[in-house]
Chains A and B, each alone.
Chain A
């Protein structure tokens, strides 16, 4: 039987410290939907998604009810569309995005990922067409998320693709200018993208995944923050132990929900993603965890070290709590979705350069960063190239989700709404990177990619 303390601890985590399951994401293989006639391919994609995912939202709701733990999002990830659409006789892939949008709406999920291409070493015809279709696809659909893998430790950095993504991001922002460039919030550019990541905008159903799979993303910066605060003035080794224990408990909830969702939907359980995912809610912030560790503001000297400790302790605690860990697994540091990060930027404590340094020791990368609308595409490409280089050299996933907000300048505030939050526009370096980016070609894979 459980002690009173144990039961109240769980209830306090959920009710007061924002412990929730951030997402259960159903991955669906749609490679078998290829057809020379794009209309036929699209119909097959729609039918398969709506057939496999028809119970996703209902099952998610039932689990929420029975276990009393909120499941914030139920989402879908499909095979990268470039691979499926390539067989079709069409150059415009926007209709594939519309198909995904309609399927997501039909089953009641708010985001569907997989308008994606993996181009770290080069592009096929289908990849190129997909990239060309991204700006319109994101402007003309509501729920579709796009991702492009432009680099890997094995392949190096495809700088042609990086340069092109700079242009695509600016064009996407312009096409969604009346919504402050919101389209860009649905586009993630990756190095070493995992095929089992349940989090948007970067989720897609990877190569080597089964026919369908349930992946779960947990969340709980608020719980970790409270544990750090309660610990008082212990040394950092003891603090790491406390975070590990907390991460273990958080992850167990993810494991429970993942197993149950998979069982009820009749698909295999894939992984728990051990990420600390903040939300705009006060107290649900990774920046506030770092501040609770003893930094006056997130972004000041010591922030990278504190984040490295936090990220490592979350992984160590979480890894013991789950049968299978995967996805991104680390602390997320999205600016617009984290009240503490927003405050740190507004007060001048946190810069783009410091965020870049922080991405060396935590998961993902420059996430939900708003920059001035007149930022040149080459500068955006150079920001992507820097993050890709970090990922490639350090053998980890990095990503960029950046929004050049049309008509906005540093210091302005942009409201995206909902989970996407609000972002202060951050300044970028004024010195040009143009000549470097226009060289094109590929940054070769590092020597430590030769591991065989």
Chain B
């Protein structure tokens, strides 16, 4: 990586979108805690009547790979009736930061 595009290593962005209900944050953060993934930042809002939450997390000490985490989150998402995505932070860094 060059020109200020230093990779942020193991930071990921988790996006949760769906109908608001009790237990969404608890459900998602539990999955992360179980895998020893540290949450760096959480923000949430209601957009077009949909609950939207963004988590920035660090997988440095994670006990699972990103692929496995995505599966666990997708399963939790089904339980909660929301869509949960997890992507490496560089996907956003490349597009929005020069």
Residues of chain A at the chain B interface (Cβ within 8 Å): 1-2, 4, 6-11, 65-69, 249, 252-253, 255-256, 259, 323
* A65-B66, A67-B87 known; A7+B92 contact, CB < 8 A: yes
- Residues in B with CB closer than 8 Å to A11 are 15, 85
- Residues in B with CB closer than 8 Å to A9 are 96
- For the complex, is B26 an interface residue (Cβ under 8 Å from A)? no
- Residues in B with CB closer than 8 Å to A252 are 94-95
Closest residue of chain A to B97 (Cβ to Cβ) is A2
- 23 example contacts (A-B, Cβ-Cβ < 8 A) are as follows A1-B56, A4-B43, A4-B54, A6-B96, A7-B15, A7-B54, A8-B47, A10-B91, A10-B96, A11-B15, A65-B67, A65-B70, A66-B87, A66-B88, A68-B87, A68-B88, A69-B91, A249-B95, A249-B96, A253-B94, A259-B1, A323-B2, A323-B3
* B52 touching A256, Cβ below 8 Å: no
- Residues in B with CB closer than 8 Å to A2 are 13, 54, 92-93, 96
Q: What is the distance, in angstroms, from A338's C-beta to the closest C-beta of chain B?
A: 25
- Residues in A with CB closer than 8 Å to B85 are 11, 68
Residues of chain B at the chain A interface (Cβ within 8 Å): 1-3, 13, 15, 41, 43, 45, 47, 52, 54, 56, 66-67, 70, 85-88, 90-96
- Give the docked Cα–Cα distance between A255 and B98 (Å): 12
- Residues in A with CB closer than 8 Å to B66 are 65-66
- Give the docked Cα–Cα distance between A347 and B27 (Å): 52
Among B1, B41, B56, B92, contact of A6 (Cβ-Cβ < 8 Å) = B92
Total A-B contacts with CB atoms under 8 angstroms apart: 58
- Give the docked Cα–Cα distance between A249 and B91 (Å): 11
Q: What is the distance, in angstroms, from B69's C-beta to the closest C-beta of chain A?
A: 11
* B95 touching A253, Cβ below 8 Å: yes
* A256 touching B87, Cβ below 8 Å: no
* A4 touching B45, Cβ below 8 Å: yes
Q: What is the distance, in angstroms, from B20's C-beta to the closest C-beta of chain A?
A: 16
- Give the docked Cα–Cα distance between A66 and B12 (Å): 9
- Give the docked Cα–Cα distance between A65 and B12 (Å): 12
Closest residue of chain A to B87 (Cβ to Cβ) is A68
* A255 touching B15, Cβ below 8 Å: no
* B41 touching A1, Cβ below 8 Å: yes
* A8 touching B67, Cβ below 8 Å: no
Q: What is the distance, in angstroms, from B12's C-beta to the closest C-beta of chain A?
A: 9
* B90 touching A67, Cβ below 8 Å: yes
- Residues in A with CB closer than 8 Å to B86 are 68
* A68 touching B91, Cβ below 8 Å: yes
* B54 touching A253, Cβ below 8 Å: no
Closest residue of chain B to A256 (Cβ to Cβ) is B94
Closest residue of chain A to B15 (Cβ to Cβ) is A11
Given known contacts A1-B56, A252-B94, what 10 new A-B pairs fall within 8 Å (CB)? A2-B13, A2-B92, A4-B54, A10-B95, A66-B88, A68-B86, A252-B95, A253-B91, A259-B1, A323-B2
- Residues in B with CB closer than 8 Å to A1 are 41, 56
- Residues in A with CB closer than 8 Å to B13 are 2, 7
- Give the docked Cα–Cα distance between A65 and B91 (Å): 11
Closest residue of chain A to B13 (Cβ to Cβ) is A7
Closest residue of chain B to A249 (Cβ to Cβ) is B95
- Residues in A with CB closer than 8 Å to B41 are 1
Closest residue of chain B to A69 (Cβ to Cβ) is B91
Q: What is the distance, in angstroms, from B70's C-beta to the closest C-beta of chain A?
A: 7
Q: What is the distance, in angstroms, from A69's C-beta to the closest C-beta of chain B?
A: 6
Q: What is the distance, in angstroms, from B66's C-beta to the closest C-beta of chain A?
A: 6
- Residues in A with CB closer than 8 Å to B67 are 65
- Residues in B with CB closer than 8 Å to A249 are 95-96
Q: What is the distance, in angstroms, from B32's C-beta to the closest C-beta of chain A?
A: 17
Closest residue of chain B to A2 (Cβ to Cβ) is B92
- Residues in B with CB closer than 8 Å to A256 are 90-91, 94
- Give the docked Cα–Cα distance between A255 and B58 (Å): 24
Q: What is the distance, in angstroms, from B16's C-beta to the closest C-beta of chain A?
A: 11
- Residues in A with CB closer than 8 Å to B91 are 10, 67-69, 253, 256
- Give the docked Cα–Cα distance between A68 and B52 (Å): 18
Q: What is the distance, in angstroms, from A63's C-beta to the closest C-beta of chain B?
A: 9
- Give the docked Cα–Cα distance between A1 and B96 (Å): 10
Which has the most chain A C-beta neighbours within 10 Å: B15, B47, B87, B94?
A: B94
- Give the docked Cα–Cα distance between A369 and B47 (Å): 44
- Give the docked Cα–Cα distance between A98 and B43 (Å): 55
Q: What is the distance, in angstroms, from A64's C-beta to the closest C-beta of chain B?
A: 10
Closest residue of chain B to A320 (Cβ to Cβ) is B98
